[in-house]
Amino acid sequence: MLKPLSDARLYTFVDTAYLHGRDPAELARQLCDGGSDIVQLRAKGQTLEETRRLAEAVQPVCEGAGVWFVLNDHPKLALALGAACCHLGQEDFFDAGFRTAPQVTGCPPQMKLGLSTHAPDQAQRALRAAPNYLAIGPVFPTGTKPGRAAVTLDYVRWAAANVTIPWFAIGGINMDTLDSVLAAGARRICVVSAILNAPDIAAECREFCKRIESHTR
């Protein structure tokens, strides 16, 4: 049973840029074992068929653990696979001609939709499209978004004051920066490299969960 997105706290990734030869299904298992509420498959640079094969490996692990499986970038594939959620960037959504979430998710919705945002005006436009959650970031400079300027904690504070649907802070968040993001008002956190590069992925997830929980009691 998937928990409501509003109750989700830790959003993690199986990112092909950080696989380093590791089995994606095993990474997903470690992320789930560590307490991730959501696992996104991000497969930048992979063909559609390669992405499908990765999804077919990762999705059952997440579903078996009662964890949200999110597919990045490929809404038609997400629908075909019966994924719980699809995540799209600004360009993948608005520049592709979409204006409302049902154009992606179907009506009635067959899956949830998350949208990336990088500024208040983007968040306001995204909210009008009625997604299920927003990503707010990148809060700090990060190698997962090269060339993308950091939005800083000011955008996190803005989101805390203005965004009423579930939202997740993302970008350069690690154990050194986490407390400042939580202090700025974030209650849901996306973490990529700080977890995928950790020597013990499950243990690192548990540490993030514990720190987040201490701020949300």
pLDDT in tens, 158-213: 999 999 999 999 999 999 999 999 999 999 999 999 999 999 999 999 999 999 99
Summarize the confidence of residues 30-46 as an average pLDDT.
97
69-100: burial string, b at 16+ Cβ within 10 Å, e else: bbbbbbbebbbebebbbbbbbeebbbeeebee
| 73 token code pair | 């970038």
- What is the rounded CA–CA span in Å between residue 69 and residue 84? 6
pLDDT for residue 144: 63
- Cis omega before residue 108 (within 30°)? yes
Chain centroid to Cα 177, Å, comes to 18
Residue 216 has pLDDT above 80, yes or no: no
pTM: 0.96
Domain boundaries, the chain: 5-216
CATH number of 5-216: 3.20.20.70
pLDDT for residue 14: 98
Short-list 144, 150, 210, 146, CA closest to 178: 210
Residue 11 has pLDDT above 80, yes or no: yes
pLDDT for residue 146: 63
Instruction: Tabulate helix, strand, coil % of the chain (nearest 5).
Output: 45, 15, 40
**Residue 203 CB-density burial (10 A; 0-12 exposed, 13-18 middle, 19+ buried):** middle
pLDDT for residue 36: 98
Summarize the confidence of residues 57-79 as an average pLDDT.
98
pLDDT for residue 149: 80
Q: 19 φ, ψ to 5°?
A: -70, -40
Tell how many helices (H) and how many strands (E) occur in the chain. Answer: 10, 8
- What is the rounded CA–CA span in Å between residue 165 and residue 46? 31
3 vs 148, more confident: 3
Summarize the confidence of residues 73-93 as an average pLDDT.
97
Q: Percent of the chain, pLDDT > 90?
A: 93
- Write a three-state SS string for 56-104: HHHHHHHHHHCCEEEEECCHHHHHHHCCCEEEECHHHHCCCCCCCCHHH
Short-list 4, 186, 11, CA closest to 112: 4
pLDDT for residue 141: 83
Which pLDDT band holds residue 97 (cuts at 50, 70, 90)? very high
Question: What are the tens digits of pLDDT across the range 108-151?
Answer: 999 999 999 999 999 999 999 999 999 999 999 876 666 668 89
pLDDT for residue 1: 84
Q: Within 13 Å of residue 11, how many CA atoms lie on the same side as its CB?
A: 28
Question: What are the tens digits of pLDDT across the range 15-24?
Answer: 999 999 999 9
Summarize the confidence of residues 52-75 as an average pLDDT.
98
